[in-house]
Structure formats: structure tokens, C-alpha cells
Amino acid sequence: IAGITQAPTSQILAAGRRMTLRCTQDMRHNAMYWYRQDLGLGLRLIHYSNTAGTTGKGEVPDGYSVSRANTDDFPLTLASAVPSQTSVYFCASSPEGGISNSPLHFGNGTRLTVT
Amino acid sequence: AQTVTQSQPEMSVQEAETVTLSCTYDTSESDYYLFWYKQPPSRQMILVIRQEAYKQQNATENRFSVNFQKAAKSFSLKISDSQLGDAAMYFCAYRSMNRDDKIIFGKGTRLHILP
């Protein structure tokens, strides 16, 4: 089934540890996004990529990094996790970035707890 | 910068009744796209309906329709004949038509369906 796969589904992580959240899509979408969802704050954009080889910062990029080596994969890395990064993380994709009326397709999310 | 406001953190509606979820946004752009997403307890994000700002006709998808008031920057979602499966968190989202677009979400409205 075509779509977005996120891994892991959930994770408990000690503060200070490095963690990479994986995101893979098989729809050949050009644009990919990482959001975090926190109670009362909705979804906030962390980083995005309009096409392979390019990335951009969203609303809350500090403490996170991304790479886009190819079309399908868009991993999100927490270099040194802190408790405030406890959240549910969603990866999303869209056929095009930039000017487009395309909606986002979402993965099922990763629940991350930093202790 | 664009903002999206959902002023109702929670709402309840009797099964089979009609409910309207409000969404307002702030933008200086004349062309953009608006979306409503549904997030049931499964955490999956599901597109409910979309509206292009240049279209005057309100979008409709089965029991879901919008009231798009461009001058008022309002984009409310009406759910007719509410069903138990409609219980979810609903997010309003704004997509810019700028080349370096950002997709901005509201904080969400949790909808309860009363049997």
C-alpha cells in the first residue's frame, strides 16, 4: 500500500542521547515535511524539503536537523534530546512543494518521550 | 506571517445533528489554499475537505461542507448528520501560494459526538 512509513512507532529516550526518526514514502512526492504535535499547540512545522537535495527551516527548527539525500527518505535527527522534545512527530509529503493546492499525506506518527 | 486560529478547543454535538467548527486566518495574500483535517484516536491525519481561495463556491464532500468567507478570512466546517465516527480532533490548515510555502495549522478542535 502506497504511503508514508515512519519508524519507530514510539520511543523512550534518555536526555542527551541522539535519535533519528525515520520517514520513507513510496509515492514519489517531491515535498516532505516534519511536524510535531503537542497538546494545545496543534501541529508545528520543524523542517521541510521541497525537493531532494534541499531543506528549509520551519517554525520550530532548533534542536533538530534533517537531510534529503533522495526523494523517498527524509530522516529527522535530534542531536542531543531534551525533555521539551517529548512530542508526537509526524512526517508528511506532498506531490509538489511551493505553489500547489495539493494536500499533505501523513505518516502515522512517532510518539517520542525524552526522560 | 500567516496565522490560523481555531477558537473552540472542544465541542459536543448530538448524534444526527449538525455542528459547525470555526476557523479564522490572517494573511496578506490574495491566493492560497485552505484545508480541514481530521485526526481520530488512531492518530492518523485524514484530509476532510479543501478550498481554493480563488473559488467563490464553497467546497462540499458528502456530509462535510465549508463556509468560506474570504473578506472575513473565515473558513468554517459544517458536519451534517453527525455520526459517532466523526468524533476526532479537527485541524484547519492554510497553504500559501508563495514559492517557499509553509503549511500552517490551527491548534485544533476536539469534537465529541453524543449518542
Q: Does the CB of A2 have a partner CB in chain B at under 8 Å?
A: no
Residue B48 has pLDDT above 80, yes or no: yes
Residue B39 has pLDDT above 80, yes or no: yes
What is the residue-averaged pLDDT of chain B? Answer: 93
8-state DSSP, B86: G
Residue A100 has pLDDT above 70, yes or no: no
Highest mean pLDDT among A25-39, A99-113, B94-108: A25-39
B73-103 pLDDT per residue, tens:
999 999 999 999 999 999 999 988 776 667 8
DSSP chain A: --SEEEE-SEEEE-TT--EEEEEEESS--SEEEEEEEETTTEEEEEEEESSTT--EE-SS-TTEEE--SSSSB--EEESS--GGG-EEEEEEEES-SSS--PPPEE---EEEEE-
By CA distance, what is B108's nearest residue in A? A42
Per-residue pLDDT, A78: 98
B1-19 pLDDT per residue, tens:
789 999 999 999 999 999 9
Mutate to test the interface with A, among B105, B109, B110 (most CBs of A within 10 A): B105
Q: Give the pLDDT mean for A30-39.
A: 94
Residue A39 has pLDDT above 80, yes or no: yes
B101, A97: Cβ pair inside 8 Å? yes
Which residues in chain B are closer than 8 Å to A106, comparing Cβ atoms?
A: 44-45
A99, B35: Cβ pair inside 8 Å? no
B45, A33: Cβ pair inside 8 Å? no
- Compute the radius of gyration of chain A from its Cα atoms: 13
Alpha-carbon distance B35 to nearest alpha carbon in chain A (angstroms):
8
Q: Residue A101: which of B44, B50, B102 has the nearest Cβ?
A: B50
A40, B43: Cβ pair inside 8 Å? no
What is the residue-averaged pLDDT of chain A? Answer: 93
C-beta atoms surrounding A52 within 10 Å: 15
φ, ψ (nearest 5 deg) of residue A84? -70, -10
Per-residue pLDDT, A75: 98
A50, B100: Cβ pair inside 8 Å? yes
Beta strands A87-94 and A105-106 are antiparallel
